[in-house]
Structure 1
Amino acid sequence: MMQIIRRSVVALALLFGAQALAKTVEPYPLDYWALRDVISNVEISPDGKHVALLKIPTKDGGPIIEVYPANDLEGEPYRINSNPMEIQRFFWLSNDVIGMRLRQKVRDRIEGFNQGVYEYLLASVDIKRKKMKKYDQLGADMENILPDNKNRIIFSYLPGGDDSKISDAFRPRTYYELDLKTGAKTLLLRGKLDMGQVEFDREGDPWLARGFDVAKGDFVWYQRITDRDKWAEFYRQSEDSFEEFTVEGFDNDKRHILFVTANNGHDKVGLWEFNVKSGKFGELIYRRSDVDVSGVRRHSNRWKETDRIAGVIYPERNNVAVEYIDELEMASQRQLEGVIPNAHYVRINSRSRNGSSMTIYNVGPRDPGSYYLLHKGKLTKVGSRQPLLEAEKLADVRYIKYKARDGRMIPAYLTIPAGKPPFPAIVLPHGGPFVSELVLYDEWAQFLANNGYLVLQPQYRGSRGLGLDHYTSAFVDGGQGGYKMQDDKDDGMLYLVDQGLADPDRLAIFGWSYGGYAALVAASRKEQIYQCAIAGAAVSDNQMQVNYYRARLRGAGKEEQLAMWDDSISPVERVEDVNIPLLLIHGSVDQRVPLAHAEKYRKELDRYGKSYKYVELEGADHFSNTLFFDHQKQLYESMISYLHEDCGPQGL
């Protein structure tokens, strides 16, 4: 197993390098940042003859699919539009058929928590016959493209609508096989609570299922590998456990040996073998002492090697690292990294059945996301998510660690503007809060750095991917929201001040969702270090938020969420202590943190005569894919104006 070399915090001279000596970059027009992805989802057909991509051709337009001959990317494409529905993503189903997931706005207001204004459908287009079919099952999700059957796919959906009192993590799905030509669907399996989340192999045979034993409070895993005619239980885990157990796949040569990401009694998640015949863990394949294994890299040829695992994925500083099992896949990866401009996180995102043609995706601090085609030995750039943003005008991202006031080490990402320190600085805590964040390219951080701000993104306690202890430290001794979790953010900013990187008189906080909650908490802290706070889609009332789903919580999830929100500071109860200017931003149809949070908090601000500004994004939900050009321009204009003019006595 690989020896782990621990590195000290990057020294100031290495941290900035030549960029510290660079002249200040003229900020891009805000319109550039407000654009949605111009090009995304670039994939080659199974026969290698066509390349399809998702494109938004105008700033306020909707996505269309363009299909080009692979040997003529300059030619006139075949265009696919789904008006009045919007194409969310697509995937090749055969040489001539493209599958799509569509959405349409069907109401003006949300119908309750997690019940938004969109409905979703599956559809397909035959590019040879130029015919589209829409399938009538609302909320359907692709499960398996059945690579050896060009006319059929497997899809699933959650029956019973969104009124179920059972959390999505427990709810059983129903599975159908769909005939792409006729639209006829055949019921394959109707999930039950005790066994309802099923996976199918490339032949369409169910091989793995997960359910929930209500009487014992256990998650239970089943397999149909040892006997294809019946399910057999092979593992169970108490719902009260915080440990990870995820089946990633099976050994193609010995199918009874599964590959699982699991703690298996350890702080860090590793990749293990698991023998379904004995019901026991086998060999440890890979584990690290610094971070969790985050998953597996599958073989790049999904048509011929659908179920084959090529490597183990883990976060390494501000990139994704892969410990390869498949040497040919590793060799291909290394070659591509050597020829892709500004190579950072490079991966083959689609490949022809014969393996000779492929599309490649790269993303990193100086590349918002670019796609390349390798066809007949020639590498061609297809396009970029944000073609107006030039590499030399984007900011470097560095990985650092600092010590919180109680001694815990906090990893963080630092996005560095052009110029010389000390900089005005903004802490940008991620949402969640119990998620794993890896900063490859972050639009908000790059936008702020482009406007001269040093941006800190701390992996405060509660963040996933850094082991069980770091995760559970946010709630095992009572909710730390507003307490130690908040200290982690402040201590990071004070560390930057101490290092001479940040100006102590020009500090601010901006966050969205839980990050917005953290901004509200910061505004009421008595030991104040910030000049202002910007809170987007912020939870302002802990009890109102957790009551939306309190009845659905069980086990570890219940302890995590209830300890977090019940025992943490509730911003609406601390409005009297607000002592810095505030900018509040909220989407009018936010389903995850409903608008009532902003309304309730503003009433308290008015009652106490506090200084604030409020921006409502009409028609925007909680999530980034509901922020259109006008929303993003309004967001960015309000932020920059506020930071310049209203953040503290002289602005930031």
Structure 2
Amino acid sequence: MQMTESRLFRLSLLLVVFGMSSASAAVEPYPLEYFALRAVVSNVELSPNGERLALLKIPTRDGNPVIEVYDARDLSKEPFRVNADPMEITRFFWVSDSNIAFVARQKIRDKIEGFNQGVYEFRLANFDVDARDIETFDELNGTISHLLPKEPEKIIVSFNPGAEQDSKLKEAFRPRAYYEFDLKRGTKKLLIRGKIDLAQIEFDGDGNPYTARGFDIGAGEFIWYFRRPGESKWSEMFRMDENSFEDFVVEGLDDAKAGNFLVTAHNGSDKSGLWSFNPDTQEFEELIYRRNDVNVAGVRFHSNSWTQPDTIAGVVYGTDKYRVEYFDELEGATIAQLEGLIPHAHEIRITSRSRDGNSMTVYNEGPRDPGTYYLIKDAKITTVGSKQPLLESEKLADVRYISYPSRDGLTIHGYLTVPNGEPPFPLVVMPHGGPFVSEVVGYDEWGQMLANNGYMVLQPQYRGSTNYGLKHFLAAFTDGSEAGYGMQDDKDDGALYLVKEGLADADRIAMYGWSYGGYAALVAASRTPQIYQCVLAGAAVADMTMQLNYYRDELRGAARISQLSYREGAINPIDETDKINVPMLLVHGDVDQRVPPAHMRRYLKKLADLEKDYRYVWLEGADHFYNTLFFDHKITLYQNLTGYLKNECGPGGL
């Protein structure tokens, strides 16, 4: 691990070691309905003056979220409630002492219109708490780009007016148009309109556009720009060839070195680090922080976004959990104090803070806490609510961060959810989707639901996962490592490692995954030698060629290299159906826009023709993404998963 000691705060703490759960025997599992509930309470935030507290609440199991606004001095008082019927509120932000901006969605179609063309549309709206008045924006699919903390009656919103024409670009580089919206007058004016070579724009705490990203089509290069306050002309900061797999992300201003930016970048190294970057000379001047085990995941901004919106307080990385190395001594000490106060403290965030800094909302989430919100006001800490209030910590499971060797010598990390009871346990290998994403497991609903029913769950960070450096990522593209081969070995080797360690039963192993994880489950069904008793595949890519053809012509640069290398050299499940040698449960949403239902329909026909042992479940009205799974979808999914594992997974069930 490399760091500059003068730039990092080191807090000396007395370590208190808490024992593991005293539960040594299996406990009676919760009703599956408990896990199937959508988040009961979420998005808890204070108004800037600290006088009001708002949150999203789903009052019934089949209901939509409503905004509840409380008197922060007395949460026992009846709140004021806001809904957006027939639309569903998905997120809100306090933008002034009396205004809440929110995002809402509505299902407008019964069927998808093609790949990545879903059934929902989104709108922005502003709610005036004092006037009890809601005003919506005409444009669809907008984004709140800046809250303008120093302009309490204004915010900056943005829209993507030409998404279809420039869909070949990465989403982060698609042009947007930016407007200043006056909350009091209900008017908006155009501030700046992006274009392909200078597209997405960021604003500083004063509302000045100060960084932008674009794409030079002729050169095939991504470009980053900067602009000083008072200037009207953009200057070029950095260029990167579109074929590069390295990262370059502008995180914000470097308070310690005037004129410089803090960026996360590889800069020729395997692991990305946090750098002080001089935009005038286009040089990486100082390495602030880098680790030998994982990439830098980003930065943590100061908890008071109203008075210090540009202040970066620490650098974030993910291992056993997301951890923060704080630059700001007081911020680090505050979090350390909260960790000593909050039960089952794991990942703690200050989610909002009053302008004067005296009041705040705090959120904790971890293996034994599905997510709990707290209010700190008038020197008291009050529990506001839990995402899943029916789940008690004693009945949830611990998660261990492990590593094991793959058969070719690559070290693979993973997260192991261990049920209450004694090993060896039946094991469910649950690879993440993507596949080119990072995963840090705290509270995982699927993992905890399965563990609550007696199954150990392994979530392997196989090659191609993005948290472990370029070598680990690029190993997914080398000979023999494409999807279905080396990437699949990493998952199997994790299961075999747990068997060797005496934690898992070799005769009771299954694989369950969603999206790419579902693809991996389909591939596992035809592997020999076979280590699984069954597979359970959700939203699975069943035909690699069909999936690639949806967007083959849109790919370029590193995205094209990775997708073509990984998919065209991969095992294609639909071509391997004759080799399937274990029972299968298949689950798919009937309006899945990312992996359209045509995949599963073609695959099911082949299984039927070959008289394979399978069962399938269609989730009516479910898209690909977790936030489109409502209570009925989740209870259907969980009943089928647990029932299949218990009764139909291999001889006698798992």
Same fold (TM over 0.5): yes
Amino acid at match of 1:211: G
Between the aligned partners of 1:547 and 1:594, the Cα distance in structure 2 is 12
The aligned residue for residue 77 of structure 2 is 75
The aligned residue for residue 402 of structure 1 is 404
Between the aligned partners of 1:365 and 1:499, the Cα distance in structure 2 is 22
1:229 counterpart (227, 232, 238):
232
Taking the TM superposition and a 5 Å limit, the aligned residue runs for 1:208-223 are 208-223=211-226
1:203 counterpart (199, 203, 206):
206
The aligned residue for residue 125 of structure 2 is 123
CA contact (8 A) 1:478 1:563 kept: no
Q: Please say if 1:288 is aligned against 2:327.
A: no
What is the SS of the residue equivalent to 1:72? coil
The aligned residue for residue 10 of structure 2 is none
1:369 counterpart (368, 371, 374):
371
Amino acid at match of 1:119: E
Between the aligned partners of 2:441 and 2:553, the Cα distance in structure 1 is 34
What is the SS of the residue equivalent to 1:515? helix
What is the SS of the residue equivalent to 2:173? coil
The aligned residue for residue 566 of structure 1 is 568
CA contact (8 A) 1:23 1:419 kept: yes
The aligned residue for residue 308 of structure 1 is 311
2:259 counterpart (252, 256, 261):
256
Gaps of 5+ in 2: 5-17
CA contact (8 A) 2:220 2:241 kept: yes
CA contact (8 A) 1:19 1:419 kept: no
**CA apart distance, 1:21:** 6.5
What is the SS of the residue equivalent to 2:428? strand
- Sort the Cα spacing of 1:39 and 1:73 in 2 relative to 1 into closer, same or farther, 3 A: same
2:110 counterpart (108, 111, 115):
108
Taking the TM superposition and a 5 Å limit, the aligned residue runs for 1:407-418 are 407-418=409-420
Write out per-residue CA displacement over residues 235-272 of structure 1, whole angstroms, 9 at most, x where no aligned residue.
10100110010000012464420000000110001000
Query: Quick one: percent identity of the two aligned structures?
Result: 59
1:430 counterpart (429, 432, 436):
432
The aligned residue for residue 11 of structure 2 is none
Between the aligned partners of 1:237 and 1:226, the Cα distance in structure 2 is 25
What is the SS of the residue equivalent to 1:230? coil
The aligned residue for residue 280 of structure 2 is 277
Write out per-residue CA displacement over residues 263-312 of structure 1, whole angstroms, 9 at most, x where no aligned residue.
01100010000011211111100000011110001000000000100000
Q: Which runs of 4+ in 1 moved over 4 A?
A: 1-4, 16-21
The aligned residue for residue 461 of structure 2 is 459
The aligned residue for residue 89 of structure 2 is 87
Between the aligned partners of 1:254 and 1:177, the Cα distance in structure 2 is 30
Between the aligned partners of 1:228 and 1:427, the Cα distance in structure 2 is 54
What is the SS of the residue equivalent to 1:615? strand
Between the aligned partners of 1:31 and 1:115, the Cα distance in structure 2 is 31
State the TM-score, normalized to the length of structure 2: 0.96
**CA apart distance, 1:199:** 0.5
Write out per-residue CA displacement over residues 565-623 of structure 1, whole angstroms, 9 at most, x where no aligned residue.
11111100000000000000000100111101110110110111101001000000001
Taking the TM superposition and a 5 Å limit, the aligned residue runs for 1:386-401 are 386-401=388-403
The aligned residue for residue 246 of structure 1 is 249
Equivalenced residues, count: 640
**CA apart distance, 1:161:** 4.5
- Sort the Cα spacing of 1:257 and 1:163 in 2 relative to 1 into closer, same or farther, 3 A: closer
1:41 counterpart (32, 40, 43):
43
Gaps of 5+ in 1: 5-15
What is the SS of the residue equivalent to 1:548? helix
**CA apart distance, 1:479:** 5.8
2:341 counterpart (324, 339, 342):
339
The aligned residue for residue 498 of structure 1 is 500
What is the SS of the residue equivalent to 2:110? coil
Q: In terms of mean alpha carbon deviation, does 152-161 or 510-519 score higher?
A: 152-161
CA contact (8 A) 1:226 1:256 kept: no
What is the SS of the residue equivalent to 2:270? coil
Write out per-residue CA displacement over residues 475-533 of structure 1, whole angstroms, 9 at most, x where no aligned residue.
14476100000000000000011111111110000000000000000001121000000
Between the aligned partners of 2:453 and 2:22, the Cα distance in structure 1 is 15
Write out per-residue CA displacement over residues 459-489 of structure 1, whole angstroms, 9 at most, x where no aligned residue.
0000011000001110144761000000000
Between the aligned partners of 1:44 and 1:459, the Cα distance in structure 2 is 37
Write out per-residue CA displacement over residues 178-222 of structure 1, whole angstroms, 9 at most, x where no aligned residue.
122333221111111111110011222111011111111110111
**CA apart distance, 1:398:** 0.3
Write out per-residue CA displacement over residues 48-78 of structure 1, whole angstroms, 9 at most, x where no aligned residue.
0011000000000010010101111111000
CA contact (8 A) 1:478 1:568 kept: no
Write out per-residue CA displacement over residues 143-162 of structure 1, whole angstroms, 9 at most, x where no aligned residue.
00111112211111111244
Between the aligned partners of 1:226 and 1:446, the Cα distance in structure 2 is 49
Amino acid at match of 1:596: A
Amino acid at match of 2:360: M
CA contact (8 A) 1:590 1:621 kept: yes
Write out per-residue CA displacement over residues 81-122 of structure 1, whole angstroms, 9 at most, x where no aligned residue.
110010001010000101100100011011111110000000
Write out per-residue CA displacement over residues 299-331 of structure 1, whole angstroms, 9 at most, x where no aligned residue.
0000000010000001132x1111110001111
Between the aligned partners of 1:183 and 1:354, the Cα distance in structure 2 is 28
**CA apart distance, 1:18:** 5.6
- Sort the Cα spacing of 1:354 and 1:154 in 2 relative to 1 into closer, same or farther, 3 A: same
Amino acid at match of 2:374: Y
Q: CA RMSD in A?
A: 1.5
The aligned residue for residue 53 of structure 1 is 55
**CA apart distance, 1:450:** 0.1
**CA apart distance, 1:388:** 0.3
Between the aligned partners of 2:201 and 2:162, the Cα distance in structure 1 is 18
